[in-house]
């Protein structure tokens, strides 16, 4: 075994006092960070000395699955199977949030209040989110701690990015109601939400979440913020003259992030964060069109390519109908393309999910207008300062987040809580 990996294994055994455990197996995984950086994580599965190994595919109760960042030796995740923590490690007890925060600061190097904040607290669970001076950031990072019935740690997980003051442009929050209102009004849309108990679609007006730059000149959609670094927006309507009579055949794909020790310690790089070239985009669009010609031969002009990006060694394409309906569950197809041959090899169609609602009764016709609905929602719309990662500047910029937890029943005009529908 490589000396560096063995050093991390020995470090972990000592750090968490794993004298009554033995290392059963380990794996190396690549992790793409929001800051356009790559991290490598060593996952170790530590079995209790008295564990039953009769089933090779089964991790017995008490197994400790521990993820350590190979470069920093920071703990990324700890999971105790069935919640049974048999270690003698000095984990914080469930009864003390203050000790839990101190432990997190020691383990992660993050500073409470300046890089993360507490957002949810229960007797046996704590949830923290990334924040700079208590201002939320997007995409967000999160920290979760859970405890078993005995008050011992059963799960610890840290994921995402946690920026500091050096990674953002500080400025006073300057958005005013005059700037916000017309943008908020433009986000007010008629939606159709499935009501499972009634087996019916319900028409509701709601406000889509959107970010506004602090100068009020640009809006950033939630999808844009969450998109991969390499995402390229597209809006190409896909048309063709001749179908392909041979049906599309799915091929095997490998979406695993696991890497070998040889790959880890080689100087080779992956390209998931690289923007697609013009040639890549043109070749990928041809692959998308050929896929549609085979899978939906009669649908020329009915689909559009909405975006392309790199992921896990492939090119991904998102395909949507040209004329979407108002339903909250959009029809979309995710197509996976071989990045060397530019050939479509696999796809996932969410039509399977939509089929679950095919027998639902259609929504009643709206009786109030968008303007009337907005007037009802206006007092409930919230604007919150947040830091949003700008992919062009590669820094976090101050924005206002427009959000509203309420909607308006399009038939009755009643104010409703969207999460309760």
pLDDT per position as a tens digit, 86-106? 998 889 988 799 999 999 999
pLDDT reported for residue 305: 98
Residues 76, 158 contacting (CB under 8 angstroms)? yes
348, two tokens = 């996932």
Over residues 397-405, the mean pLDDT reads: 95
Task: Report the alpha-carbon distance of residue 412 to residue 136 in Å, rounded.
Answer: 36
pLDDT number for residue 271: 67
Q: Scanning the structure block, which residue is given the tokens 């799915």?
A: 250
Cα 213 to Cα 111, 191, 205, 389, distances in angstroms: 27, 26, 25, 11
What is the pLDDT averaged over residues 343-365? Answer: 94
Nearest to 172 by CA among 403, 393, 400: 400
CB 308 within 8 A of CB 315: yes
Round to whole Å and give the CA distance between 372 and 45: 58
Q: How far does CA 95 lie from the centroid of its chain?
A: 31
User: What pLDDT digit, counting tens, does each position of 284-321 carry?
Assistant: 999 999 999 999 999 999 999 999 999 988 999 999 99
Confidence of residue 35 (pLDDT cuts 50, 70, 90): low
277 band by pLDDT with thresholds 50, 70 and 90: very high
> Is residue 257 very low, low, confident or very high in pLDDT (cuts 50, 70, 90)?
confident
| DSSP bridge partners of 21 | 48
Residue 56 · residue 283 · CB < 8 Å: no
Residues listed for the chain: 421
Burial 166-203 (b: 16+ CB within 10 A, else e): ebbeeeeeebeeebbeebbbebbebbbbbeeeeebbbb
Instruction: Take residue 113 and report the two structure tokens written for it.
Output: 């209040």
Model pLDDT, residue 34: 59
Residue 401's alpha-carbon distances to 137, 297, 332, 345, 370, in angstroms, are 10, 42, 26, 38, 21
Q: Say whether pLDDT at 21 is over 90.
A: yes
- 138, 390, 398 from 223: Cα distances, Å: 11, 13, 18
pLDDT at 266 over 70: no
* 346 close to 332: Cβ distance less than 8 angstroms: no
Question: Which tens digits make up the pLDDT trace of 214-224?
Answer: 999 999 999 89
Q: Is the pLDDT of residue 1 over 70?
A: no
Q: Residue 378: name the closest of 411, 400, 410, 402 by CA.
A: 402
pTM for the complete prediction?
Answer: 0.86
Task: Please give the pLDDT value at position 393.
Answer: 86
Beta bridge partners of residue 46, listed in sequence order: 23, 64
Strand partners, 116: 112, 130
Q: Is residue 332 pLDDT above 60, yes or no?
A: yes
Spatial contact of 308 and 232, defined as CB atoms under 8 Å apart: yes
99 touches 92 (CB < 8 A): yes
3-state secondary structure of 1: coil
Please check the confidence at residue 333 and state whether its pLDDT lies above 90.
yes
**What is the rounded CA–CA span in Å between residue 1 and residue 42?**
13
Task: Measure the CA–CA gap between 2 and 9, rounded to whole angstroms.
Answer: 11
Distances, alpha carbon 142 to alpha carbons 223, 325, 331, in Å: 19, 34, 30
- How much is the pLDDT for 326? 81
Which pLDDT band holds residue 270 (cuts at 50, 70, 90)?
low
- Which structure tokens are listed for 319? 């395909």
pLDDT higher than threshold 90 for residue 120: yes
- 263: number of Cβ within 10 Å: 13
Whether 33 has a pLDDT exceeding 70, the answer reads no
* Percentage of the residues of the chain whose pLDDT score is greater than 90: 74
For the chain, the farthest-separated pair of C-alpha atoms sits apart, in whole angstroms, at 70
How many CA atoms does the CB half-sphere of 46 hold within 13 Å?
Answer: 25
């Amino acid at each position: 075994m490589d000396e560096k990996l063995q050093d991390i294994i020995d470090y972990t055994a000592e750090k968490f006092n794993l004298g009554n455990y033995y290392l059963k197996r380990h794996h190396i995984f690549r992790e793409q960070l929001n800051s356009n950086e790559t991290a490598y994580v060593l996952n170790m599965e530590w079995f209790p000395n008295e564990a039953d190994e009769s089933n090779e595919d089964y991790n017995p109760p008490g197994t400790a699955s521990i993820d350590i960042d190979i470069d920093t030796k920071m703990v990324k995740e700890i999971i105790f199977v069935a919640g049974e923590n048999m270690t003698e490690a000095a984990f914080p007890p469930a009864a003390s949030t203050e000790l839990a925060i101190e432990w997190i600061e020691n383990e992660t190097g993050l500073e409470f209040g300046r890089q993360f904040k507490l957002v949810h607290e229960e007797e046996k669970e704590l949830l923290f989110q990334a924040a700079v001076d208590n201002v939320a950031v997007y995409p967000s990072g999160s920290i979760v701690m859970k405890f078993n019935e005995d008050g011992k740690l059963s799960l610890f997980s840290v994921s995402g990015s946690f920026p500091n003051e050096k990674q953002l442009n500080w400025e006073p929050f300057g958005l005013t109601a005059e700037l916000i209102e017309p943008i908020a009004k433009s986000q007010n849309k008629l939606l159709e939400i499935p009501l499972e108990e009634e087996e019916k679609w319900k028409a509701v007006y709601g406000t889509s979440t959107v970010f506004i730059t602090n100068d009020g000149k640009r809006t950033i959609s939630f999808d844009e913020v969450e998109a991969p670094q390499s995402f390229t927006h597209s809006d190409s309507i896909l048309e063709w003259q001749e179908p392909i009579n041979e049906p599309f055949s799915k091929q095997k794909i490998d979406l695993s992030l696991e890497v070998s020790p040889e790959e880890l310690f080689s100087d080779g790089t992956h390209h998931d964060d690289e923007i697609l070239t013009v040639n890549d985009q043109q070749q990928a669009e041809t692959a998308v069109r050929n896929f549609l010609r085979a899978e939906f031969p009669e649908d020329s002009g009915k689909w559009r390519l909405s975006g392309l990006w790199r992921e896990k060694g492939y090119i991904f394409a998102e395909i949507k109908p040209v004329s979407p309906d108002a339903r909250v569950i959009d029809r979309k197809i995710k197509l996976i393309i071989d990045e060397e041959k530019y050939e479509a090899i696999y796809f996932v169609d969410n039509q399977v999910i939509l089929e679950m609602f095919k027998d639902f009764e259609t929504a009643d016709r709206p009786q109030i207008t968008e303007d009337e609905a907005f007037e009802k929602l206006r007092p409930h719309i919230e604007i919150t300062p947040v830091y949003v990662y700008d992919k062009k500047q590669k820094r976090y910029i101050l924005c206002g987040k427009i959000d509203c937890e309420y909607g308006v029943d399009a038939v009755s005009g009643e104010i409703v809580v969207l999460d309760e529908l």
